[in-house]
Structure formats: structure tokens, C-alpha cells
Structure 1
Amino acid sequence: MPSDNTVPAMSPVSTVPVHAALRLLAMAGDLSMGQPTDQSLRSARLAERIALLGGADAEGALHARLVALLRWSGCTANAAGFAALLGDDVGGRDAMLRHALPPGHPLTFVNVEPLARIHCEVAGDVAGMLGLPPQVEAGLRHVWECHDGSGAPQRLRGAEIPDAVYYTSLAGDLEILARTHDQATAARMMRGWGDVKYPAAFAELAATHAAALLALLEQPEDDGGAALPAHPVPLHIVADLIELKLPWLTGYSRRVAELAERGAALAGLSPEQQQRLARAALIHGIGRASVANTVWERADKPSSADWEKIRLAPYWTARAGALEPLLRDEAALASHMYERLDGSGYFRSLDRDSLGLPQRLLAAAGAYAALCAPRPWRAALSREDAGRLLEEQAGRGLFDAQAVGFVLAAAGGDTAAPVRKGLLSEREVEVLRRVSLGESNKEAARVMQISPSTVRTHMESIFRKLECSTRAAATLKGLTLGLI
């Protein structure tokens, strides 16, 4: 039987058109940055139009739109770093975008550069995994650079920075500042950042056309822009990226998806219902991005204020369906994952009369997978103990006993994901698995009974073989390649 942290192989049916994945990732990024759920969608439309005004052709304008959609796609990977600096990674980054951080705030180039490096590497890797054009990947790898060389992570300047980065930065500033202040203030601030954040000519162009650009956002989305790409991509990319926010969640949604899909098959649900459950499990964590890391990482019981935020996480997942019609049913189902038969769950506080077998299976699969994995406030339970606890809770009326039985039967048939032979050694795979869960070199060394310096040597080899330089990027690639 595999270890509790093994990620089972995923069903090949869980693919979606890339434009659907883009919208889901955009929403998750918005929530992570404390923004409205359509901020990236709005900025992407503005970036495309600013690019056209700046003389870009249709292809270049589309690249700017795609960069703007994925601009925040690396922000889950550095959430812990911003939480450590600002206390609240979500609220703090919102203040940063509004230029409303208090005097004496701790952000400096020295402590932000490592976070920008993580963000840009992960965002660029995501673009590659989604099969987007190399120009989009290049833009995302430099999305925090500034015209005058004061940006990060490489302090590029001027023409070294792709134009798509400038268009994206202008679009984001215009959308956020006009919404949180007003149009005149946005135009004034953008002009002030000319030849600092972006070329002065670009800043003047966006400021001059600010009124018309903002009016564009009041029109239907089909405003003549180029169509987004539609090739199929694995939906697990969305889950993997979201879970970088909390390393101890690595692979959690994949495990829930496999358990729910297998449990549904054992329950006799149709293949369509099985697929819907797997997809719902993979996107259920979108709303989690809205809650600060400090809340999720507490070692003691969440406060009532914490619970108000936690209870809204599945609500925001449900909202994802409104932005992506192709996954409307899955998002609605996903938002029921934390409901309980006795009405004690959230966010709707539904009871057994309102919860069908798919919802009951998803809830049982999510609870079992969580119990079998470590959390900051407790160690992982063995499969046997997790199963007994779940059965006890079903006896108390929290879970459906039949659904629990199907999930436990599904768990009994788990098989380990195939390791890509020859890419990493067995020891390197184990090191990667440990650090992907947020363990330090010292913690991984203690568990593996090797020295921290040996762990560090293995990590250097892992980075070289996976062609990355941060743990977050290595985790994402390891999941995608089936190594962890």
C-alpha cells in the first residue's frame, strides 16, 4: 500500500480548453491578491487594447492579453513569504497594488526580490505547461521588471523588457487605481511613473485614452479582441498551482479527485457524474486563495473572525462557475465539499435533505484525504485511524455512511503514481516529496536520517534536472511529471 502522501494517477478525462483554465487561474490570482474576481479579466481586455493603441499587431495584442490574465499566477507560490513580511498576504498585497501600504512598511528590494523570482519562475512555467506562445512565457518571467531597472527579479531595463509586460502593467494600474481612486488620479499616477515603471510614451498613451479604455469595460466582453486559445490542457494544473499557497496541501485535490471518482464508480454513478466529481475536486480549492496564510497556518483553533473568512472560501469557488460556464456545474458541486448532513457545514449550512449522493461522496473523499495528510496543527492519521474516525463521524450524522463506505473502498484500491524513471533518483524523489510539503532541509534530513548538507546537494541536482531554481517551481514540475 502506498504512503499517505502518494498522489494517485489521474483519469485522462479531466481536461478542459485552455481558455477555461486561464479564467480559473485568473480568478484564483485575483483572490490571492485581494482583488475583485474579475480584475484580471478586466485588465486583460485593457492590456490588449493598449497594445493595439501602441502599435502592436493582433498577435502581439493577444500576447499582452494572455500575460495580463496570468499576471498573478505565481502569487500562490510566494504567499507564505508575503505573509511573513506583511502579516496578511491577501490584504497586504491588495494595499501594495493600491499603493496604500503604511509608512515604514517592511517591503524592500532585498526582501521582495526572492519573492518576485519565485513568482516569475512559476508563472513562466505555468505558461509553458498550458502550451502558450513563448512570448507569453517570456512576458510572465519578467512581469515585475521596471523600465528604469528597479524591478525584479533581474533588474532588466528599457528594451530588454517585453512590451507585453509594459502593456500589462499599465492595464493593471489603470483598472485598479481608477476603481479604488478615480480616473484622473489613475492618469496622473501613470504619467508620474513614466520612464520608471514603463516608457513615458506608453504611460502618456494610456493616460490620454483612459476614459475610452475604461468605457470598454462596460461593454460586453466580445469587443472585437482576438479569441483566446482553446487547445485541451489538464485541469490538475489549476489544482497544483492553487495548492502552492500552502505546501502541506500539495497533491490534496488530486487525491480527493481520485477517491471521489472511484467512489462514484463503486456507487454506480454514470461516467459523466464520475467525471464531474473528479473535476469538482480539482477546482474546489479556488476559494481558499481568498484567505490569508496566517489563518490557514494557525496551530490553535481558528477564531470566530477566522471562521467567517474560512466559511466564504467555498462561496468563492462557486463564483468561479459564473466566470467559466464550461465548469459551472463542477464549481457548484465543488462548493458543497464542506457541507455536513447535520447542517453544521459551510457555506450554505445545508442538511441531508439538500445533499445528494455526489455531494456526500465529495465531502467524504475530502475529509478522508485530509485526515490522511499532515496539517500544521496535527500529524497525519494512518489510513486505518482515518477510516475509523470517518465512520464514527458518519455515526454521529456528519457524513453519509454509504458514501463513507464507497470512499474507504476506493481508498483500499489506491495505486502509486508511476515515477518517471531515470529523471530523478529514488533519493531525489523522496527529497522532492519532503520539501514539496514545506519541510526545510533540516526537517527533511531528520526524517530521512541524512545530513542537511546532503539534502542541499540533492536539491541542487533536482533544480538542475528539472531546469528550475525555486522549490515552488520544482514542486509544480514534480507534480506535472508524476514524480510526487
Structure 2
Amino acid sequence: MNHNTGRRRYLLRVFDAVKALAFIGDLSMGQPTDHSPRTAWLAMRLAQSARLDASMQGTVCEAALLRWSGCTANAGGFAEIFGDDIAIRMAMLEGRSAAIKPLTEVGNMNTALRPLAQIHCEVSAAVSDMLGLAPATEAALRHILEAWDGSGQPRHIEGDALPLAVCVVALAGDLEVLGRTFGVNVALGLIAERADRRYPAWLVSIVTSHAASWLAELEATSAARLDMALRTPHMEFKTSAGLIADVIDLKLPWMTGFSRTVAATAAGAFARLSSDKAAQAHVYHAGLIHGIGRAAVPNEVWEMTTSLPESAWEQVRLVPYWTSRAGQWPGPLGEAATLASFAYERLDGSGYFRGARDQALSLEARVLAAAVAWAAMRSPRPWRAPLSAEAAARELRDEVARGRLCAEAVDALISNGTRIARSPPLCSPEDSPLSPREMDVLRAVSRGATNKGAARELKLSPSTVGTHLESVYRKLGCTTRAAATLKASAMGLL
């Protein structure tokens, strides 16, 4: 088969990928899953009323949809400082007093937030670039957490030096969140307090005149009409769903590459059972996005090294539920999300979230469940080391004997040997911009190792690791580990 033909089968519209990334971002921020699309619609209305040109209207739309796409990348940092990374971001976004106490306990808030903002902005900008969106969108996302008066992060850019799109998106986002949370009148009062601080006063005056009618019109707009309004020309091109998987996995360093491994493993196993190419692509996409609902669970739950309390288990069981919500989208990605939501079901009904069993689970769902279990067993976790190939194979067969996993799926999965499947790289080792040693260093730090930890693992000095990392950042055009991980993952180097 021609490899280009095979790759085309796995492509989807940029718009579908952007919707998925917006969905993940909204879950990460503790917001309703239509928050970013609604913000994008309001941003376009504001841009139109401000008589900004069509290009700027497209920029604010794309930036609003992707402004939280860096949230998974700094979730670990938020969790380390504040505990619940989702709750604190939700409180900050909604301007609730609950956000004030944890922030004041941090000490120097600017110092604490600056590296997190740098990660967020750099990853968001990289996402835009990798999707092929306009340079103006990338520029807006690179500064998306800045403010008109220079009080934002990470570079304190102010006034006319700040892309106007950033201010339009910030104002539209505040109107969406505050209007939904407190009502339009209270929202406008809070927005007025932020005039000439977060955004210029002349934009606030436009919102004050139109907010009530805009919000009413938005409430009457169907999801299908909203999608039509948000599809910019740049979002009609094609892209790989792999970027969605990489953004999902950025939430937890020890998950780097996990979703791509699941996808390659599941698609390979399914191909041994069926020659249906469309179904194979369906399984592959489902593997890539099976963890989309993971963004809704705080990192402190995922990092627990002891048995999960029931309250934490309740959150974990909802991961496939949130994935199923994405199944409402039209098109192949929505269909893949529906299949992906069965990733943790079991034949005997002991899985979650539906408790589906037996004939309710298609062959595709059975293969996907086995692939997720296999990849998890073969991967390190905070509470255990990875299982050997032989031990994982025995565990899978034990699951079959207990009536939980499908024998046919498990046989297909391990019949090709016991190695971990990987997605084919986009560039050969000879074409890689990174040297073999640089890739070793990046692999180590992308999975959560400190410079000292990577030095011990690779038998190098910490200063040598630092030198290699600086070279990696320079070659990949970034300054953070998260952005380097994202770019290298997309190239198939991790």
C-alpha cells in the first residue's frame, strides 16, 4: 500500500481537531464543554462591531477556540502549587473569592505563575502552528495571557504592543463566563472594573451596548449553526488527529506517547481480524482520543500512589463519560469518540462508565479495550514499574479467563509478538533535527525526569544534560520541555 494513501485515511479537518482541543481545554478549566465555542462566537461579534477586518475576525475565532490548548501542558505545575489544578483555574477564570486565598498563600504570585504562563503560551502557539493556522493566530496565542495594562503573563506586554486579538478574546471570554455565572448585569459591572486594565475601554463600551442581545442570540443558536459560524478558511484543511493525542498526554509526563501507542496497538490488532480499512482508521482514531476525558480529572488524583478513595474513583469512572460527550460531534471524530468511550468497558459488565457487556461491545470496542489495558501494563506509573512483555501477556490472558476481555482481541493483540506498537515516525532517524543523545535526553525529561534524574538515568553529568536540552530547544524553536515534547511527539521522535 502507498504510505501516503494510508496516511490520508487517518486525516481529518483542522476544524474537527480544533473542536477537540477546545473541548479538552474547557474540561481543563472546569468549564462547560461549549465555553470556548461560545467565546469564539462572541469574539467574532465583538470584532465585527469594532469594524475589524475579516482576517482579524478569523484570528479571534481561532485564538478563542485554542486559548486553553496549553492547559494540559502546565497542569502538573498548577497541581504542585495549588493542589487541584482544575478547581483553581475555574475559580480564577470565574473571578470567585475562592481563588484569592490559595494565590496569596503562594508568596510571590507573579514568580509562581510566570513559568506556568510561559508553558501555556508556548504550547498554545505551537498547536496553532502545527495545525497550519495563520501567523496572526499563532502570535495571539503566544501572548494570550497578557493584559492591556501590562499586568499579564509571562512577558508583561502592554498597550499597542499587545495583539488586539488577545484583548478581544479576553473580553469575549469574560462576557461568556461571567454572563453565564452571574447574569449579564453583574457581568458588565465586573467587566467595567477591568476596562483599561485587562482590555481597552473602547472595546468595553462596545460590549456594554451589545452584550444582552449577543447573549440572547447565542442562546438561540443551535450547535450546528454555531459550528458553521466558526469554521474559518484555515480550518477547512486537513491534519492528523495525532496532535490531539499529544495534547491529551501532556497532562501527565508519564503518559507521554501513551495515546499514540494505544492507537497503533489497537489498529494493528484489528487489522489482523478485519480487512475493513475504514474500520481500521476508526479504531486508530478512537485509540488516539480515548483519554480525552482525562482532562476533567485533577492531576492530584492521577498522581496518587496508594489505592484510590471512592471519591477519586468516581472522577476516574467519568473519564469515558466525558469522552462520550465528544461523540455528539458530527463526522468521523465524533464517531471515533463514541467508540473511544468504550475503552474501559468489560465483557462481564464490570467496566465503566456504562457497565456495558457481551454483545453491547463491538469487535472494535473489544480490541480497543484490550489495547488500552496492554499499553497501560507496559507503561510506568507513579505507583508501579512497567510490566514485562511476558507478564503483561499473562495478565491479559488472565483477564480473558475471568471473562473480562475478549479472547479473540487479546490473541490478535499479542500474536505479533510482545513488543509495544508505535506510530510510524514522520521523519527517519537520519532526517531528525536531534542527535541520538539529544533524543535520549528529551525522552527522559519528557517523562518527568529532572535534569539530575536524566543525568543518573543516562550516566551523564547534569550540566551535560542541560547543554543537550538547550540544543534541543534551539533546534525545535521553543524554550520549555512541554513544547519540545509536543513537537517531538508529532515528529514521531518520542
Residues 420 and 252 (structure 1), Cα distance of their counterparts in 2 relative to 1, 3 Å cut: farther
Q: Encode CA deviations 1:203-249: one digit per residue, 9 max, x unaligned.
A: 12112211012112123353784632210001000010111001111
Question: C-alpha displacement at 1:73, in angstroms?
Answer: 0.4
Alignment-derived partner of residue 486 in structure 2: 476
**Matched-pair contact (CA < 8 Å) for 1:420–1:483:** no
- Secondary structure at the residue paired with 2:292? helix
Q: Distance in 2 between matches of 1:85 and 1:422?
A: 36
Task: Say yes or no: does 1:87 pair with 2:91.
Answer: no
Read off the aligned partner of 1:253 and give its amino acid letter. Answer: S
**Matched-pair contact (CA < 8 Å) for 2:178–2:184:** yes
Judge which range, 151-160 or 107-116, deviates more: 107-116
Q: Distance in 2 between matches of 1:422 and 1:390?
A: 36
Alignment-derived partner of residue 27 in structure 1: 23
Q: Distance in 2 between matches of 1:76 and 1:420?
A: 31
Q: Distance in 2 between matches of 1:185 and 1:323?
A: 33
Q: Encode CA deviations 1:429-456: one digit per residue, 9 max, x unaligned.
A: 0111111111111211111111222111
Read off the aligned partner of 2:23 and give its amino acid letter. Answer: M
Task: Say yes or no: does 1:105 pair with 2:102.
Answer: yes
Q: Encode CA deviations 1:256-309: one digit per residue, 9 max, x unaligned.
A: 111111111101241111110001111111101000000011001111001111
The match for 1:301 among 304, 307, 326 is 307
Alignment-derived partner of residue 3 in structure 2: none
Task: Say yes or no: does 1:50 pair with 2:56.
Answer: no
Q: Encode CA deviations 1:68-123: one digit per residue, 9 max, x unaligned.
A: 00010001000011112221111111111111143432261111111000000000
Aligned length: 475
**Matched-pair contact (CA < 8 Å) for 1:148–1:195:** yes
**Matched-pair contact (CA < 8 Å) for 1:420–1:481:** no
Unaligned stretches of 5+ residues in structure 1: 1-9
Alignment-derived partner of residue 227 in structure 1: 231
Question: C-alpha displacement at 1:323, in angstroms?
Answer: 3.5
- Secondary structure at the residue paired with 1:105? helix
Q: Distance in 1 between matches of 2:358 and 2:255?
A: 28
Q: Distance in 2 between matches of 1:358 and 1:117?
A: 40
Sequence identity (%): 46
Give RMSD over aligned pairs. 1.6
The match for 1:341 among 334, 339, 347 is 347
Alignment of 1:5-24 (within 5 A): 11-24=7-20
Alignment-derived partner of residue 330 in structure 1: 336
Alignment-derived partner of residue 141 in structure 1: 142
**Matched-pair contact (CA < 8 Å) for 2:29–2:90:** yes
Q: Distance in 2 between matches of 1:275 and 1:422?
A: 27
The match for 2:248 among 216, 235, 242 is 242
Question: C-alpha displacement at 1:12, in angstroms?
Answer: 4.9
Residues 420 and 14 (structure 1), Cα distance of their counterparts in 2 relative to 1, 3 Å cut: farther
Judge which range, 416-425 or 136-145, deviates more: 416-425
Question: C-alpha displacement at 1:330, in angstroms?
Answer: 0.9
Read off the aligned partner of 1:14 and give its amino acid letter. Answer: Y
Q: Distance in 1 between matches of 2:490 and 2:278?
A: 25
- Secondary structure at the residue paired with 2:460? coil
Task: Say yes or no: does 1:434 pair with 2:444.
Answer: yes
Alignment-derived partner of residue 219 in structure 2: 218
- Secondary structure at the residue paired with 1:16? strand
**Matched-pair contact (CA < 8 Å) for 1:92–1:101:** no
- Secondary structure at the residue paired with 2:342? coil
The match for 1:273 among 251, 276, 279 is 279
